[in-house]
Amino acid sequence: MIIKDNQYYIGPHRVDELCCRFGTPLYVYDAEIIRARIYDVKTEAGVYPKTEFLYAVKANYNPFLIHHIVKKGLGVDAVSPEEVRLGLLCGAKPEQILFTENNATDAQIDEVFDLGVLINVGSLSHLGRFGRAHPGSRVCVRFNPNIGIASHESNITGGADSKFGISFQDVDRVKGLIDQYQLRLVGIHQHIGSGWLRLREPILALDVILDIAKQCDGLEFIDVGGGFGVPYRPKEHRLDMKTLGRQIAKRMEQFCASYGSDVALRFEPGRYIIAEAGHLLTTVSGMKQSISRRTIVGTDTGMHHLVRTAMYGSYHEIVNITNPDGMHQEYDVTGNICECADFFAKNRMLPEVREGDILSIETAGAYGMAMASNYQFRPLPAEVLVDEDRVTEIRPRQTFGTLLAQFGHVSFS
């Protein structure tokens, strides 16, 4: 978003005009930012020549966004059979998709297998079941390197108590099952957590997976998952992806030289691709003072549209689109849901906020709409993609009718 003559713009479009045209609450994504972030990962993280990127569609599964990203050459990291099907629909080829199962049923694994998509198996028992059902097949195995890092505790997926992956100590048991069912272990995988901005743990974890790789023959790829963080706060530093890319490339090249073949490296970025491209635009629908004289801003959106603050205490920058020059004052910014956790900011300094102003909740493209719900029977907002001059509604706003239609035919007379 840029400001010009006191007006905020997304691409060449005035934000207030987008709100007039589509209403609020409204998610707006900027295709130019998506392309810039794809360029970053390809050129900076992808220093190792044989690097492949799979977009983690869980971050935002709007098909128009997936299509845009797949057209730029990314594959798809999917965690449900439905995400797999969506990836295929959006133009990814089966071999560009990896299904990372977690507590999947046999039926779900078979469904994905029949679509020609590689399964990334996350437990010894599932590896055995997969082997019995599909002996001789290609398979990927997810390991837990016992190292985790994330922006929030609940997003750490590597470590002693994590439910994800097979322990790094169980390589021999994995190899035993691979031999027993004559499976072809073509890839090994790990994902240690989401939203990190530090390099230490990801590099340590890479060393663990390379050590596992040395013990496995015939690998085609090593997948180190996603997790690249983005700055949510104004002065937060950016991830030093160039250094990360160089350090990983060095280790991969050393590994391949002794392994005897050029194994591909895979990343699964979700947040990094889409977070900064997304804005949640909302209208201030109420202002009040609490008993303790805090100034409470009420908006026409809430935790049902962006749950990250309520769920993880996540920080999202807020911009007053209507009154950029207003005197800064302290506010609590809340939503319209009947829950105390329904807020976006506490004690936040913002240019004077008035009823009717439009606010933009920033860096909302990842795990915003993807985690939105119909809690309190509220409709989901519309989504719009801005691509230079073009503005496309990529998801219509839900209505009472579309909400009700989820129950089939409802009539009691």
Catalytic residues: 338
Q: How far is CA 243 from CA 197, 239, 395, 400, in A?
A: 12, 9, 38, 50
Q: How far is CA 112 from CA 115, 117, 131, 224, 350, in A?
A: 5, 6, 15, 22, 48
Nearer to ligand LLP by Cβ, of 298 and 302: the residue is 302
Q: Return the structure tokens found at 402.
A: 């579309």
CB atoms within 10 A of CB 308: 22
Q: Which amino acid is at 55?
A: Y
Nearest-angstrom CA–CA distance, 413 and 411: 6
In the block, tokens 């990814």 appear at 92
Please state the closest distance from residue 68 (CB atom) to ligand LLP, in A.
Answer: 17
The alpha carbon dihedral of 100, 103, 104, 107 has a sign of positive
Q: Which of 79, 99, 209 is nearest to 144 (CA)?
A: 209
Please state the closest distance from residue 322 (CB atom) to ligand LLP, in A.
Answer: 28
In sequence order, what DSSP letters do the residues of 166-193 get, joined into one string? EEGGGHHHHHHHHHHTT-EEEEEE---B
Please state the closest distance from residue 87 (CB atom) to ligand LLP, in A.
Answer: 13
Nearest-angstrom CA–CA distance, 192 and 226: 8
Q: Return the structure tokens found at 92.
A: 């990814």
Nearer to ligand LLP by Cβ, of 369 and 382: the residue is 369
What are the start-end ranges of the H helices in 181-330?
A: 200-214, 241-259, 271-274, 308-312
Please state the closest distance from residue 248 (CB atom) to ligand LLP, in A.
Answer: 15
* ∠ CA 86-90-93, rounded to 5°: 90
Please state the closest distance from residue 142 (CB atom) to ligand LLP, in A.
Answer: 8
Nearer to ligand LLP by Cβ, of 13 and 126: the residue is 126
Q: What is the dihedral of CA 170, 176, 182, 185, to 10 degrees?
A: 20
Positions that interact with ligand LLP (CB under 6 A): 56, 58-59, 77, 100, 155, 157, 191, 194-195, 225-228, 268-272, 308, 366-367
Q: Return the structure tokens found at 286.
A: 């109420």
Nearer to ligand LLP by Cβ, of 57 and 358: the residue is 57
In the block, tokens 């957590």 appear at 193
Nearer to ligand LLP by Cβ, of 190 and 282: the residue is 190
Q: Which of 114, 110, 121, 68 is nearest to 91 (CA)?
A: 68
Please state the closest distance from residue 402 (CB atom) to ligand LLP, in A.
Answer: 25
Please state the closest distance from residue 340 (CB atom) to ligand LLP, in A.
Answer: 20
In sequence order, what DSSP letters do the residues of 106-122 get, joined into one string? HHHHHHHHHTTPEEEE-
Nearer to ligand LLP by Cβ, of 270 and 381: the residue is 270
Nearer to ligand LLP by Cβ, of 194 and 282: the residue is 194
Give, for 2, the enclosing helix (H) or strand (E). strand 2-4
